Amino acid sequence: MKQERTWKLTTLCLVILLGSHDSFSFYIDEASPVGPEQPETVQNFVSVFGTVAKKLMRKWLATQTMNFTGQLGAGIRYFDLRISTKPRDPDNELYFAHGLFSAKVNEGLEEINAFLTDHHKEVVFLDFNHFYGMQKYHHEKLVQMLKDIYGNKMCPAIFAQEVSLKYLWEKDYQVLVFYHSPVALEVPFLWPGQMMPAPWANTTDPEKLIQFLQASITERRKKGSFFISQVVLTPKASTVVKGVASGLRETITERALPAMMQWVRTQKPGESGINIVTADFVELGDFISTVIKLNYVFDEGEANT
């Protein structure tokens, strides 16, 4: 009973939540065009080598092997979402995208909503943090899509310190939508992007990543917001060339996992701890179970006071 009471009353920016990096990338479609954010060198590479190039790209762009339903079932509650239009698309559809296009946005959001409808006390964080090729009417379309799919499940933007499970359950809220665009200022249920900062180490070196993560925790407490620790290594062009046929998982993530997990195991929740932890291939090793167990540190501290 004590543990349940603690969890209900604790603000969610003080507990540790599981997240996935490029959450939608399981759905990346090798038959799709190259995304508009890709540099000319990549565009040229694909124009010369076609399908072969896209198969190789997918090995480096797909950072998850589970779809949204699988991730939700495993415990993922934060989703890193990047949205794009397709060039010359007469239907003006919106797609998830990371180098190549992925699923249609409405299909992914509906999949998440189906889980929420079956699990009334579960809460998710949807972080729309990159937009490619989007004009005002595309944003309007996405906002209307969110209204149509989630309706009253969405929690209006308030102070992060006020968001506890008790608060959300009392009001039947299940979705917090973060939107890294000025559009967020015009829509009550969109939380401004600055309330979900996600510092990016941009390194292939596990030691440098850990130093960066540790330093960023100190900065976190100056922001009064939710906060993401990206336990993610980013390949350089030279890394991709060396392991071009192997892909991200084999070349980088699996090799660096022991060092990254060693850092994760030393973390704690609370004002001086971490909040949302994201990773590639979240099913690898004991990432999920380890992050969940970290929250029991909070309960033990409560019991001893």
Facing residues of 97 across strands?
A: 101
Which of 98, 138, 139, 180 is labelled catalytic?
98
Q: Which residue has the tokens 């799919």?
A: 149
For residue 21, indicate whether it is catalytic.
Answer: yes
Query: What DSSP string runs through the chain?
Result: -HHHHHHHHSBGGGS-EEEETTTTGGG--TTSPBPTTS-HHHHHHHHHHHHHHHHHHHHHH---SS-HHHHHHHT--EEEEEEEEPTT-TT--EEEEESEEEEEHHHHHHHHHHHHHH-TT--EEEEEEEEES--HHHHHHHHHHHHHHHGGGBPPP--GGG-BHHHHHHTT--EEEEE-SGGGGG-TTEEEGGGS-------S-HHHHHHHHHHHHHHHTTT-S--EEEE-----HHHHHHTTTT-HIIIIIHHHHHHHHHHHHT---STTS--EEEESSTTSTTHHHHHHHHTHHHHHHHHT-
Contacts of 213 (CB under 8 A, 6+ apart): 201, 229, 230, 231, 263
For residue 130, indicate whether it is catalytic.
Answer: no
For 110-144, b/e burial (b = at least 16 CB within 10 A) is: eebbebbeeeeeebbbbbbbbbbbbeeebbebbbe
Active site residues: 21, 98
